[in-house]
Amino acid sequence: MTILAFLFVLKIWTVPETVVLDGARAGQQFLAMAEYADGTQGDVTGEVVWSVSNGALATISGGGRVAALGDGAVTVVAELGGVKGRSTVRMMGVKEERPFAFGRDIGSILTKRGCNGSACHGGVKGRGGLKLSANGLHPADDFEWITKGGTYQVLTAEVAGERVPRIDVRDPEKSLLLQKPLGLVAHGGGKRLEGDSEDYRTILAWVKRGAPYGKDGETARLAGLEIYPAMATMGVAGSQRLLVTGRYTDGRREDFTNQVLFSSNNGEVATVTPEGMVKGKALGETAILIRAAGQVASVGVGVIGVPVKNYPVVGRGNFVDEAVFAKLKRFNLVPSELAGDGEFLRRVCLDLTGTLPPPERVREFVGSKDAKKRERVVDALIGSPEFVDFWTFRFADVFRVAIFANGLTPKFSQKYWEWIRENVAGNRRYDEVARERLSAQGYGAASRHFLPYNQIGPPADVMAEEVRVFFGRRLDCAQCHNHPYENWSQDQFWGMAAFFGRLFKAGPVVFDHPTNMDWSSKDVDGKIELVHPRTKVVVKPVLLDASPLVVRGDGNPRQELARWMTSHPYFAEATVNRVWGYFFGRGIVDPVDDFRSTNPATHPELLAGLARDFERNGYNLQRLMKTIVMSRTYQLAHETNGTNRADVTNYSHSLSRALEAEVMLDAVVAVTGVAETFTTAVSEGGAVGQAPAHTRAINLKDPDMYFSRFLELYGRPNRGAIPERSGKPSLGQALHMLAGATYVDRLSASGSRLRGLLERGATDAVIFEEFYLAALGRGPDAEETAELGKLVAGRGDREAGLREFVWALISSREFVENH
Amino acid sequence: MRWLILIFLFDFCLLGADPRAISVQPFVGQRGMTFTATVRGSNLKGARAVVVDGEGVRMVVEGEGKESSPARDTVKIRVETGAETKAGRYSFRMVTASGVSNSLVLGIAESVVLAEPEGLHETAETAVAVVGAPVIYAGLIGKKGETDLYSFQAKAGETLTFQVRSGLPSLGAAGGNANGFDPAISIFEESGSWFDAKRLNRVAFNDEPLWVLGRLTDAYLVHTFAKAGRYFLRLEAFSGQGGPDYGYQLQILPGTVEQEREAGRTDWEERTYQRPLTANRLNELAARGGRAEKEKVIETYRAMGTVGFPATIEGTIGRPGESQRSTFQVDGPQDIAIEVETPDGAPPVFNPVVRLLDGAGAEVVTNVFAGRGACTGAMNKGLTAKVIYPLRNPGQYTVEVRDLTADLGEAGFRYRVQVRPQVGHVGKVSIDEDHLNLAPGGAKTVRVKFDREEDFRGAVAVMVENLPEGVVALAAADYEPDTDPPPFLGKRERYVARTERTVIAFSVAEGAGLTEVPQLVRVLLRPVVDGRPGKVIASKQIPMMVVAQP
């Protein structure tokens, strides 16, 4: 902030507003924030004058750090140009040394110094013979490795090598734990500690005391980190100090700012100092990751351009816009205008139904003066037969309807597909759908996905997929070792996998094998148990949050899991994020199923608001979709303005999205008027089959049965895993556009739209308009009509010219994208 | 060895020339009517007669039809029925220059039978207008991807039953893939959509309710129409197959009508869930074991109490997770058999797990057959309808019945469990030939397989009757390759019968006369125990012809 800005400071406030300092050496970093006359805000922690009301009870540094001296209360004041902000600090137990705890007192140093990062000793196998848990997630394990030594092994809990402690209680200064980070002994991680630092003294004192483990487990543990501000914005060269507060399971809060490791996800946009000072480097958005012992958090940082003069007042459609537009204003981005009727209609039809609006509907809609026509058309589309087709297709993707994935028979995969369709058509509560899928037993459709290649899938794979689909999280990394970037441990992973560890099949029937009955297992020396791959201990089902659980030996443990998952906040936020991603081409957390603390939401309040609304309204997907498409955010134009051209994450304008392969093929069919023939590559019996005439690509029940060059080229996933459609163009696509049957053969086929128009004697202008409306949802402008007229006339052969026009139209970027 | 090779080659030659009837179209006609049908198959050239099993239907060869495929022959037959002809299914065989063919089935119905009009009927405009119900349409899915649309009016609240029988019967098979024509039906209404005012929207569908091993995949759908209007029934082949053999019979009936099932099997079923476990079962088994039928009647008890031995225990797993226990006393060592019958629904619908527990509650034996996969060694399990076990300790035992799943249970989960002493007997019998065409001087073998159940140690006599002149039946043996014993199947002997086979060689004298019509040869099986032959326990009639070698 420039010095001139002081002249325009309207308000100063200090953070935190109130705080309790508990115990000896307790302290608190304060921030001072200013609001300026132009509506912007900034960090003035370094510019204000700090003071405390009673210097006998507490001191405050020039940087705003308070240290307690005695029990009582003081007021902290920050002053800038006569404007003041105040906070209250209450001190207690200042003379009481808090009990030592290895995880908190040593683990936090190892975290802050980067020792237990995933690239160092916190990696899968550790580094240089020393293994630490990532971010100090397992302090007891870390204590063992440090005080007893030995080499960690990934596949077994047995210790390899000679056990040489990393500390020396007889000669503490000679401890490897100190010598290596000091650089006195060769250390691959370089110098990590200074000999005169507080951290060095803390570790040395601990070793001198005989290296006790302390009170971990007996006292409250760190439950999470809160960062202030939740989202930081600054100009290029601007800065913002971050304040990190640790929240304990007993409700206590503690300043963690100087006990964490800060790092930037994109140092070209913003950097961060070890003290938590974020500095803007270039326009853009990134996240700062904060690692504390056993916890990881992140905060979004926006490096924004110059303030917009006379920022326009932008109307709101619903609560979606509040969160989106507030951030846009903060980022000095002006949202685009509302999309025109034609643009909106094409977009909403494709997004809700995967279907292009027919020309007569475009004319009708654009010509209508009804003020509520957008809502009316949304109501007509949601729940329509085409909507049911399309969302069955989309959920068939996520839920992986495929022959090989559903018991190796089209009977099973189609049964499963029909179940999805029935749920979509009936707008069944999504939590019920999830519960049924998660806990399905027997022969019912919802159980068919448990039968890849007609075998029960490995519990680890099955669990990881369910968590990804319904929680939007990827636990897979924790299958073989503690998750390197997240707080998921290998034990948690296998505890969750154990819910699927009793899944069994008898013929086509899926069931959970009882644990309290043998059912002839002894005949083949078999056992129904899931063994932890590293510890070799039989694993019991444990929920991710370790909440209490009662599972009967002859019950279905997945019932409990399903109940827990669908009532967990992750479920709603993952669902709304996935659905949001369909409408905007990216999730609020993106990829949509990669929620993690190191991949923060771009709009946390929006995500929370949508999730809350979804949950309160009975997990109603149709309602969620209507909320999204009726927002102004969704209805913004594709065309950008001077402020938002580069924006791809803040929804300031509509982003172009490639049509999915199936939607695009259906669109080509709709525009040309010539149906596609889908022939089975596999059939139920010996004979090769064919989908009924006029079957749309999105309606193929088990697409892996139907070969299609077009669909392969345009990225139809095989559903071998949860599909991730990229929509990236390829050379194969270009060649297919030039010579492929989908494009070439259709143009002159009998019964085509073009032939019909020609047979009816339509003029070129009528043909141009009809095709433009069918393909692009708009008519050609005068210039386009004139150019097209010249093109056709210049070809000599009118029909050939018109065919080329149609080819060019369906090959155009405007056609192959939704925008 | 030389002899065996010669037989093989001879068989191969005959096999290549054996007449094979694949389909008949239409395969249903109206009683009292005469109509023409087309039989399609291979080696049907020179067809001169049709042999019909049953009275009241006459079939006459009219001539050869047009056939585009060089590997196929078609024969036109005239089907004549009288006003008194019984409605039902009539099997028939073609008699050709190469001999008698396999059998096909042609149905005769009381209700109106109409042929699907010529042409495609894939759109609302070209749909076949249904004349009313009840009615039967004989149609054909003539090419891949073809759908036949039938339009009809329904009143609000009206219920109709739609039933489709395939002309190429398709059975649920292991792995889920079956050959044949598996018909699927859907009902559409003309409700349109914002995009297309004429769009037909599906309101109901059915393929077949379940994909059950060995069950026909014919389509059946009962639908009550919420509103009055015009509807369409769409008929297609599951997975979109089609061709000249893909004939069907569409029956539309007012109200709710039970699905027409294939005729129940008349031969002995030992290990299916729906065989009746009668009170007289001990005597039935004794008869199949060649012994006197002097066994006592098995009493029936309600589940969850003390029952006698032997006993039939009846119960219902009406609630998810429910298990029902019944106890009985065994006074001395006893080889027992436990059999399970599920009258209303067999696996995979209702999957009864039956456990026998000893007095301490420990599991003694179950009907869960555990094994290990040959590839991965992973444990696998399956349910069986019968298990045998030698109880060595007298005392009180408990029979526990539950569903395989923890979450399913309903009134239809009805079971009958029979606990009884073992009775050695001949179980399932199969005779692997449907028909036989022999040339003078030639020979052909027929395999007869039978199961030894419950340690049946007697002999089995195979007799042949009514042979054509010049044909003799000889006891024979053929080569059976060695097979490794299955190493991964746990206690197989408890769950699987011991199967044996015998071979009959039919030999024709060089100068034997040719036959004009098939002669029904009877193959009979009788157990032989203690030097005495028992009753006939299985028989099969095989049409046989002596024909000139093609």
- Tell me which residue in A410, A442, A691 faces B145 most closely, judged by beta carbons: A691
Tell me, letter by letter, the H, E, C secondary structure of A323-362.
HHHHHHHHCCCCCCCECCHHHHHHHHHHHHHCCCCCHHHH
Q: Does the pLDDT value for residue A668 go beyond 80?
A: yes
Q: Average pLDDT for residues A90-99, to the nearest whole number?
A: 88
Q: Which domain holds residue A148?
A: 102-208
CATH number for the domain that contains residue A41: 2.60.40.10
A747-756, B223-232, B441-450: the lowest-pLDDT one: A747-756
Q: Quick one: pLDDT band at residue B13, thresholds 50, 70, 90?
A: very low
Question: E-assigned strands of A229-340?
Answer: 231-235, 239-241, 243-248, 253-255, 261-264, 270-272, 277-280, 284-292, 295-304
- For residues B546 and B509, is the Cβ–Cβ distance under 8 A? no
Question: E-assigned strands of A447-573?
Answer: 503-506, 509-512
Is A484 found in the same domain as A559?
yes
Q: Does the pLDDT value for residue B265 go beyond 70?
A: no
- For residues A643 and A283, is the Cβ–Cβ distance under 8 A? no
User: Could you tell me if residue A48 is inside a domain?
Assistant: yes
- List the structure tokens of B351: 């999957």
- For residues B338 and B418, is the Cβ–Cβ distance under 8 A? yes
Residue type, B170: S
Q: Quick one: pLDDT at residue A281?
A: 94
d(CA B328, CA B518): 55
Is A157 found in the same domain as A140?
yes
Above pLDDT 70, what percent of chain B? 93
pLDDT per residue as tens digits for the range A142-176 = 999 999 998 888 878 888 888 889 999 999 999 99
pLDDT per residue as tens digits for the range A506-565 = 999 999 999 999 999 999 999 999 999 989 999 999 999 888 888 899 999 999 999 999
- List the structure tokens of B109: 């119905």
- Name the domain boundary from A208, A233, A259: A208
Q: Does A355 touch chain B (CB under 8 A)?
A: yes
- For residues A303 and A281, is the Cβ–Cβ distance under 8 A? yes
Q: Quick one: pLDDT at residue B176?
A: 53
Q: How many CB atoms lie within 10 A of CB B399?
A: 22
CATH code for the domain defined by B427-546: 2.60.40.10
A32-36, A198-202, B208-212, B425-429: the lowest-pLDDT one: B208-212
Distance, CA of A556 to chain centre: 30
Q: Is the dihedral of CA B32, B37, B42, B47 positive or negative?
A: positive
For residue B531, give every residue at least 6 positions away whose Cβ sits within 8 Å of its Cβ, in sequence order, or none: none
- List the structure tokens of B121: 């009927």
C-alpha R_g of chain A: 31
The H or E element containing residue B263 is none
Q: Does the pLDDT value for residue B370 go beyond 60?
A: yes
Name which of B355, B374, B375, B417 is nearest A521 in CA terms. B355
Q: Average pLDDT for residues A352-381, to the nearest whole number?
A: 98
Q: Does A681 touch chain B (CB under 8 A)?
A: no
Q: Quick one: pLDDT at residue A251?
A: 86
Same fold, B2-109 and B296-422: no
The H or E element containing residue B414 is strand B414-421
Torsion from C-alpha of A376, A381, A383, A387, nearest 10 degrees: -170
**Cβ distance of A512 and B405 shorter than 8 Å:** yes
Q: Does A508 touch chain B (CB under 8 A)?
A: yes
Q: How many CB atoms lie within 10 A of CB A685?
A: 20
SS3 of residue A289 by DSSP = strand
Is A519 found in the same domain as A437?
yes
DSSP state of A682: S
Is A157 found in the same domain as A89?
no
Q: Quick one: pLDDT at residue A271?
A: 97
Q: Does the pLDDT value for residue A2 go beyond 70?
A: no
Beta carbon pairs, A and B, within 8 Å: 183
Cα first-last separation, chain B: 26
The residues with which B387 forms a beta bridge, in sequence order, are: B338
**Cβ distance of B370 and A407 shorter than 8 Å:** no
Q: Does the pLDDT value for residue A726 go beyond 90?
A: no
Q: Quick one: pLDDT at residue A801?
A: 94
d(CA A114, CA A263): 10
d(CA B542, CA B550): 21
- Classify B296-422 by CATH class: mainly beta
Residue type, A145: W
Beta strand B311-316 with B299-302 is parallel
Number of domains in chain A: 5
- List the structure tokens of B115: 């042929």
Q: Does the pLDDT value for residue A30 go beyond 70?
A: yes
- For residues B199 and B193, is the Cβ–Cβ distance under 8 A? yes
d(CA B202, CA B198): 13
User: Could you tell me if residue A508 is inside a domain?
Assistant: yes
Q: Quick one: pLDDT at residue A684?
A: 54
pLDDT per residue as tens digits for the range A413-438 = 999 999 999 999 999 999 999 999 99
- List the structure tokens of A774: 């069918």
Distances (CA, A) of B287 to A663, B271, B341: 67, 18, 21
Q: Does B353 touch chain A (CB under 8 A)?
A: yes
Q: Quick one: pLDDT band at residue B172, thresholds 50, 70, 90?
A: low
- For residues B372 and A524, is the Cβ–Cβ distance under 8 A? yes
**Cβ distance of B366 and A680 shorter than 8 Å:** no
- List the structure tokens of A395: 């959920």
Q: Does the pLDDT value for residue B313 go beyond 80?
A: yes
- For residues A480 and A533, is the Cβ–Cβ distance under 8 A? yes
Q: Quick one: pLDDT band at residue B178, thresholds 50, 70, 90?
A: low
- For residues A192 and A115, is the Cβ–Cβ distance under 8 A? yes
- For residues A142 and A136, is the Cβ–Cβ distance under 8 A? yes
Above pLDDT 70, what percent of chain A? 97
* Residues of chain B contacting residue A508, judged by C-beta atoms under 8 Å apart: 211, 348
Q: Quick one: pLDDT at residue B266?
A: 73
Q: Average pLDDT for residues A227-245, to the nearest whole number?
A: 92
Spans of all domains in chain B: 2-109, 116-254, 296-422, 427-546
Q: Does the pLDDT value for residue A624 go beyond 90?
A: yes
SS3 of residue A558 by DSSP = helix
- Name the domain boundary from A187, A208, A229: A208
- Name the domain boundary from A515, A545, A567: A567
Is A461 found in the same domain as A370?
no
* Residues of chain A contacting residue B372, judged by C-beta atoms under 8 Å apart: 524, 526
Q: Quick one: pLDDT at residue A598?
A: 82
DSSP structure string for B445-497: EEEEEEEEETT--SEEEEEEE-PPTTEEEEEE----------TTBTTHHHHSP
- Tell me which residue in A507, A523, A691 faces B490 most closely, judged by beta carbons: A523
Task: Find out whether the peptide bond into B134 is cis, omega within 30 degrees of 0.
Answer: yes
Q: Quick one: pLDDT at residue B373?
A: 84
Q: Quick one: pLDDT band at residue B16, thresholds 50, 70, 90?
A: very low
Highest mean pLDDT among A48-62, A229-243, A674-688: A48-62
Q: Does B149 touch chain A (CB under 8 A)?
A: no
- List the structure tokens of A566: 């669908």
Q: Quick one: pLDDT at residue A305?
A: 84
Is A109 found in the same domain as A66?
no
**Cβ distance of A526 and B237 shorter than 8 Å:** no
Is A129 found in the same domain as A86?
no
How far is the alpha carbon of B355 from chain A, nearest alpha carbon, in Å? 8
Q: Quick one: pLDDT band at residue A177, thresholds 50, 70, 90?
A: very high
Q: How many CB atoms lie within 10 A of CB B549?
A: 14
How far is the alpha carbon of B144 from chain A, nearest alpha carbon, in Å? 5
Q: Does the pLDDT value for residue B301 go beyond 90?
A: yes
Q: Quick one: pLDDT at residue A480?
A: 77
Is A167 found in the same domain as A62?
no
**Cβ distance of A441 and B238 shorter than 8 Å:** no
Q: Has domain B2-109 been given CATH number 2.60.40.10?
A: yes
Name which of A212, A188, A208, A190 is nearest A200 in CA terms. A208
Q: Does the pLDDT value for residue A219 go beyond 80?
A: no
Distances (CA, A) of A133 to A78, A115, B135: 40, 10, 75
Is A672 found in the same domain as A583?
no
User: Could you tell me if residue A272 is inside a domain?
Assistant: no
Task: Find out whether the peptide bond into A229 is cis, omega within 30 degrees of 0.
Answer: yes
- Number of residues that make up chain B: 550
Residue type, A177: L
Nearest CA in chain B to A518: B363
HSE-up of residue A325 (Cα within 13 Å, Cβ side): 20
Is A805 found in the same domain as A673?
yes
Is A505 found in the same domain as A472?
yes
Q: Does the pLDDT value for residue B269 go beyond 80?
A: yes
A366-380, A712-726, A755-769, A777-791: the lowest-pLDDT one: A712-726
Q: Does the pLDDT value for residue A13 go beyond 90?
A: yes
User: Could you tell me if residue A721 is inside a domain?
Assistant: yes
Q: Does the pLDDT value for residue A23 go beyond 50?
A: yes
The average confidence (pLDDT) of chain B is 91
**Cβ distance of B348 and A442 shorter than 8 Å:** yes
d(CA B102, CA B91): 10
Is A474 found in the same domain as A591?
no
Q: Does B366 touch chain A (CB under 8 A)?
A: yes
d(CA A57, CA A38): 38
Q: Does the pLDDT value for residue A683 go beyond 60?
A: no
The average confidence (pLDDT) of chain A is 91
d(CA B106, CA B35): 12
Q: Does B348 touch chain A (CB under 8 A)?
A: yes
pLDDT per residue as tens digits for the range B98-125 = 999 999 999 999 999 999 999 999 999 9
Q: Quick one: pLDDT at residue A3?
A: 46
User: Could you tell me if residue A423 is inside a domain?
Assistant: no
Q: Does the pLDDT value for residue A366 go beyond 50?
A: yes
- Tell me which residue in A377, A386, A687 faces B243 most closely, judged by beta carbons: A687
Q: Quick one: pLDDT band at residue B7, thresholds 50, 70, 90?
A: very low
Q: Does the pLDDT value for residue A713 go beyond 50?
A: yes
Q: Average pLDDT for residues A593-612, to the nearest whole number?
A: 93
Question: E-assigned strands of A293-387?
Answer: 295-304
Q: Average pLDDT for residues B250-255, to the nearest whole number?
A: 97
Q: Does A506 touch chain B (CB under 8 A)?
A: yes
Topology of domain B116-254 in CATH is Jelly Rolls (2.60.120)
Distances (CA, A) of B219 to B265, B350, B414: 21, 21, 25
Q: Quick one: pLDDT at residue A682?
A: 62
Q: Does the pLDDT value for residue B387 go beyond 50?
A: yes
SS3 of residue A519 by DSSP = coil
